[in-house]
Amino acid sequence: MKVYINGKFFDQADAKISVFDHGFLYGDGIFEGIRLYSGCVFRLEEHLERLEYSAKAILLDLPWTRKQISDATCEACRVNGLKDGYIRLVVSRGVGSLGLSPKSCASPQLIIIADKIQLYPPEFYEQGLKIITVPTRRCNPAALPPTIKSLNYLNNILAKIEAQNLGFHEAVMLNDQGYIAECTGDNIFLVHKGKLFTPPFSAGALSGITRGAVLDIAKKLKMPVEEKNLTRYDAWIADEIFITGTAAEVVSIIEMDGRPIGTGKPGPAAKKITAEFKRLVKKDGTKI
């Protein structure tokens, strides 16, 4: 595998950054997880727009144009001979001193990793996934807005560890008010009485690209949608739950906190949305 770093490709073993990079020292940077389907990068422009917004929010000036980043992303896929895969695009603040101040960082670094990924075993997509609510809460949006896709993921990692220690692959994270925010790496949707519900960004939900695609699909299917604060009770009595993410795509949840969701099997709404999503990724992309 070849890794892109600041305009050059390196073998995986030689792809290195400085220990003084503020992305490594402090999580000072941003990233995007992007999917490649059949030689097309899914919603690349939306990902790069979100990257630009994240950069602006943390006062990080990007020295590259969107086209330059887009071209580098596509080239990383071509160099690695990929037609289907996962792209991790990282921008760090760059090399600086041991102090917190970013003024010591000379210039940002752009790193692109294009590889294969399979987040969950195939049976979870067919049979559904069991999840649990964990004690670790989502960071308050007033402290770190969830719309910033930053390199600081310790909050999510702690929640993932708690879930795994209890024998689960995924967890629901609540915000400091007790409302559902998201899962450790995915957005969450509830279906109740034919209506689709999902937490708003103000509750701690990431502005997910796949989340947006599902909202577009719901509109196409004429399925009513509401963004609102959701409690665990709302989830427990839901007819269906599913989670969405770039790596995860769409996965049905069949149990939460020991309670079966709906019939305890993937429901019809999730199946329809999954089918439409598979059609969408074949036509809504940038050719590499």
Rounded CA gap, 10 and 249, in Å? 29
Residues designated catalytic: 149
Residues linked to residue 227 through DSSP beta bridges, in sequence order: 198
Beta-carbon contacts of residue 271 (< 8 Å; ≥ 6 apart)? none
> Which tokens in the block code for residue 111?
């790193």
Residue with tokens 């990007």, as numbered in its chain? 62
Nearest to 247 by CA among 196, 210, 282: 210
Nearest to 44 by CA among 65, 67, 78: 67
Residue with tokens 């598979």, as numbered in its chain? 278
Report which secondary-structure segment, H or E, holds 214. helix 209-220
